[in-house]
Amino acid sequence: MKNLWWLAWLGAFGMGAPAGEVAQEFIPSPLTTSAEIPGHPWDGKGAGDFNGPFAAALKELLAAGFPDPAGLPYQKIAIPTGSCWGGDAGVTETEGWCLPAEKDGVIFAIAWNGLVYPVARVLGPAVFEISVQSLMVISERPFGSFGWQGSEAAEVMPAQVFGIHGLFLTRFNQTEAVDFLLKQRDGVPKNLTFAMADEWAWNLYDRAICAHMRGDPRLALASLRELEKIRPALLKLMVPGGGEKPHSEWKPMEWATQADDLKAECERRIKDGKLGVMNEAEFLAGQPDVPTLIGGLDRLAVRQDGQPGWIPFGQSLIFKALVAADAKAVEPLLDCLENDRRLTQSVHFWRDFSQDRTVLGVHEAALFSLQEILATNYFQVISTGANLTKGGDEARAKMVEMIRADWLAHGKVTGAERAYRTLADDQADPDLWADAAASLFVGGENPDFTKLQPGAALRDGRVPTVTELLERRIAGAVKKGEEVDMFSERRRCRLLSCLLAWEPDRGRKAVAKQVDVWLADGSWKLSAGQPIANFVKRSVDDSPDVLRLFEAMAWSAERHDFNDFDPGETVTNVLVKFGNSPLLKRSREGLFTDPKSPWCLSNVSESNLSRMFEMWRKQKLTLREPFRAALLKALTNDAVAGTAMLDPKDPGRWVFIVSNSRSSYKNPADPAFTLKPGVEITVRKMDVVAKALSEPAPRGKPKVPDMEYWWPKEKRNERIAELFGVLIGPV
């Protein structure tokens, strides 16, 4: 059941199975037995009967090869589906149109995403009209335009509002359902032919990617061959017009850059019998040498860890074995980085709903193995959608040249000795200094500064000492010609953290000196603010001098400048632990009551108020000064924060607009709070505070209902009065 994440996700947005339908048990998708999938071409008849906004698009796509469901039996079917998250979304029970003839004993069917699938099971006849009605009872969608690409398992279901669904509804003259579908989407494309051609082509490409991820090269190859077949006709239809061009340099199907390479990869895998996902533990049981380990990199099927996110190759046992081989693996990995043209089964993407998928090359896995062995981040991620594979041959060649030069420059050594030589190299790039320093501790990119790795071997009396080198590198953290910015200060903060952990006394002196510099130049107010704020939060326990910087940041910073410097966590935690420190010159209470403070409760947005007070409640600070005084004052603030009302378009739902943020919830069952649709209830700042202070009842005691914005003012005032009684009680 763990692979049913997409059902839970869709259900959270009202996009799951119809009411009363039981979530399907996960069954792995079987491997396809043939790389040939039959079509069901249109006979050219009936175009004059196509009506509605999708009519022109339907005619053009049918002529281009879109499978025609007319005359085919509509059946309940189970088909293999995929997802960019795991490759396999499992065998999905849905409905579609079964083709009249089997091929090699396999039945095929047209699914609602416009693709023909091998059918795992035919479950019996379905009623098309019931499917149409199930689509028309859907009340809300999480995204507001065509082109959203989610899980393939969702796209093949009938009760969805993807653009392709409009083509099938038009083919069967379901005009009412087409109108409903269009009303469910904001920003309907002016050129539906262009949009549907793009969506159909993407569905084929995305299915190929997902099939490759789960080791089904035949289905991937069949999808790519179909895309190749229809591509010329679709390109003629995909001429942006009427505001359809995403950006000035857009090219049709620009997302299919790996189509040819992936096609060749699938053919190789079919020939070599490399199917499914490899069991790495079994592979390693044979104690493979380094060349054999590199040979197995094409079977890496590591999944992205979030969005935006990256492929955590460190989870792979093959990757770990290569890293354990240490220096012996460097030269073979460099050769792989330079020459290997195979692809892994790992896919990187910017967002799951974007038309962005990159099957990472084996050379990318080799790069990350080298970075781990050499404790150096050669590849700098400029954006969350970037990877070396996208960079092509030119980026790859530059990377090989850089790593070879670095490998030779430091005597082909690894571990602590390499780190020392890098730190001692005055000509090295400052980024390499920071990487080398971090490699002295457990954790690499995110080191645990409480634990030394082989770095302990460097406390051997050598000259200059590691401490002296770190002090020197902190002073030179800004590259020649570079401005002080986020990158330079992230580098400097890493070096400061290493020195604090390596030699605390000298580290504290270095931090105190750097705090003076930051306070003088104000760099923390600019783009450098985020890494400096992170450093303050991380080092406040070990280096009290950062409290001076904390105070300056807390009283002067704009909230949006520091993603991790927020009132709910850093400000609260520091004030609780260090609020009486002589290094802090201003009162704790003033931070929340002085109008000049960015955290003054009268200035903080309602969303941040709610988060701040929830943190105070969880940390049991609500009865402590200055927090209690701040809360009591906030609970008297009757300034308007937003509105609540029943949705005029959907009386079954409440709509809240608080701090310009819109949210929607089902209508509460209690009829006492029901108003006529469209009648607004004013939400006050005191209501936002009171709702944030709602506390779950202890186990075994009745739960006091959370205060809701839809409550009448009198009811909300009663709840606020109860909170007053708690806050002014004995400490």
pLDDT tens column, 47-69: 888 999 999 999 999 999 999 99
Query: How far apart are the C-alpha atoms of 713 and 728, rounded to whole Å?
Result: 22
State pLDDT tens for residues 645-686: 887 767 667 788 887 677 777 766 666 566 677 788 899 989
What pLDDT is attached to residue 494?
92
Lowest model confidence (mean pLDDT) among 238-242, 324-328, 626-630: 238-242
pLDDT in tens, 555-606: 876 544 444 445 456 677 777 778 788 888 887 778 777 888 877 776 666 6
- Angle between helix axes 546-556 and 529-539 (nearest 10 degrees) is 130
pLDDT, average across residues 500-527: 90
d(CA 481, CA 414): 30
Indicate the range of 158-167, 536-545, 550-559 predicted with least confidence. Answer: 550-559
Half-sphere exposure of 680 (CA within 13 A, CB side): 10
Strand ranges of the sheet holding 74-81, from the earlier edge strand across to the other edge: 116-118, 108-110, 90-98, 74-81, 121-125
pLDDT digit string, tens, across residues 214-230: 999 999 999 999 999 99
Rg (CA), the chain: 30
- pLDDT digits over 347-381, tens only? 999 988 889 999 999 999 999 999 999 989 898 76
Report the pLDDT value the prediction gives residue 446, as an integer from 0 to 100. 64
331: its two tokens: 């030269």
Angle CA 14–307–160, to nearest 5: 25
In this predicted structure, the answer to whether residue 315 has a pLDDT above a threshold of 70 is yes
* pLDDT (tens digit per residue) in 684-726: 989 988 887 776 555 555 556 678 888 889 989 998 888 888 7
For residue 558, what pLDDT is reported? 57
Question: Do residues 147 and 244 touch, judged by C-beta distance below 8 A?
Answer: no
3-state secondary structure of 592: helix
pLDDT category of residue 183 using cuts at 50, 70 and 90? confident
In 410-503, alpha helices (H):
415-424, 430-438, 466-475, 486-502
State percent of the chain over pLDDT 70: 83
Question: Hey, is 153 helix, strand or coil?
Answer: helix
What was the pLDDT predicted at 647?
74
CB atoms closer than 10 angstroms to residue 666 = 10
Instruction: Give the distance between the most distant pair of CA atoms in the chain.
Output: 90
The predicted pLDDT at position 262 comes to: 98
- State the Cα angle at 338 between 333 and 342, rounded to 5°: 85
pLDDT of residue 187 exceeding 70: no
If 0-12 CB within 10 Å is exposed, 13-18 middle and 19+ buried, where does residue 473 land? buried
Q: Are 191 and 242 in contact (CB under 8 A)?
A: yes
Rounded CA separation 93/88 (Å): 14
Residue 533: CB partners within 8 Å, gap ≥ 6? 524, 553, 557, 562, 563, 564, 565, 570
Q: What is the mean pLDDT of residues 11-26?
A: 43
**pLDDT of the residue at 496:** 95
Partners of residue 74 on adjacent β-strands: 97
Query: Per the structure block, which two tokens stand in for 83?
Result: 């997802």
pLDDT of residue 332: 98
Q: Which of 198-212, 241-255, 302-316 has the lowest mean pLDDT?
A: 241-255
If one counts every other C-beta atom within 10 angstroms of the C-beta of residue 308, the result is: 15
Report phi then psi at 337, rounded to 5: -60, -35
CA separation for the pair 447, 458 (Å, rounded): 17
Residue 60 burial (CB count, 10 A): 20
With 70 as the cut, is the pLDDT of residue 8 above it? no
Percent of the chain at pLDDT exceeding 90: 49
CA distance 449 to 200: 51
Residue range 322-331: mean pLDDT, rounded? 96
Nearest one of 190, 166, 168 to 178, comparing CA atoms: 166
Sheet holding 681-684, edge to edge: 661-666, 653-658, 640-646, 681-684
pLDDT for residue 388 is more than 70: yes
The size of the chain, in residues, is 731
**Angle, CA 47 vertex, CA 43 and CA 52 arms, to 5°:** 140
Q: Which of 1-15, 86-100, 240-254 holds the top average pLDDT? A: 86-100
Alpha-carbon distance of 416 to 423, in angstroms, equals 11
Could you tell me the pLDDT band of residue 729, with boundaries at 50, 70 and 90?
low
State the average pLDDT over residues 248-263. Answer: 84
Contacts 24+ apart (CB under 8 A), 332-335: 332/290, 332/291, 332/294, 333/294, 333/366, 333/369, 333/370, 333/373, 334/366, 334/370, 334/400, 334/403, 334/404, 334/407
Whole-model pTM: value is 0.77
Instruction: Answer whether residue 102 shows pLDDT above 90.
Output: no
pLDDT per position as a tens digit, 596-606: 887 777 666 66
Residue 140 confidence (pLDDT): 45
**Whole-angstrom distance, CA of residue 573 vs CA of residue 383:** 32
CA–CA–CA angle 379, 384, 387 (5° rounding): 40
Distance CA 115, CA 203 (A): 8
Q: How does the average pLDDT of the chain come out, rounded?
A: 84
